[in-house]
Amino acid sequence: MLIKGRVWKFGDNIDTDIIIPAKYLAMTDPRSLGEHCMEPISPSFHEKVSAGDIIVSGSNFGCGSSREHAPIAISALGIPLVIAKSFARIFYRNAFNKGLALLEADIADNIDEGEEVEIDLSSGVIRWRDMEVTAKPIPPFMVELINEGGLINYLKKQLEE
């Protein structure tokens, strides 16, 4: 799977309260959640981001409270992938369960916001400018979850077979 998009950069320790503040957790509509994605540090993020854009971050992306709302809010904006140096463990699993791809790669210091990036999700190769980095591989089962659009869709398909 090839993904191409514009980069939006965030720093280290982006917690789930930044991704989607707790005051919006009563919302169930993904589009409404997306309208508040990254609101505490970029209030107009949802207006500037386009479907296909990529988030690039430093260490410990998704730390804090365990909430499925965080990957849902990101996906609702049409963002197919987050690349970070590292992810909080619970966010990592929640993201794949919701069909949001994550790649672990330390590229945040070497890429500028707004740059175009190309990612081969199957190989983990990330390309921009004259740079190329290979991310930590996604476990095969997690690739299956992404291909099916998340855990629920994966389980539905398994029941149909």
Q: Which residue has the tokens 């197919």?
A: 80
Q: Is the dihedral of CA 119, 125, 126, 129 positive or negative?
A: negative
Q: What are the chain's domains?
A: 2-160 (3.20.19.10)
pLDDT at 122: 86
Quick check: 116 pLDDT over 90?
Answer: yes
Quick check: 1 pLDDT over 90?
Answer: no
Predicted confidence band of residue 137 (pLDDT cuts 50, 70, 90): confident
Pick from 68, 31, 42, 74: nearest CA to 55: 74
The pTM of the full predicted model, rounded to 2 decimals, is: 0.95
Q: What span, in angstroms and rounded, lies between the C-alpha atoms of 35 and 1?
A: 27
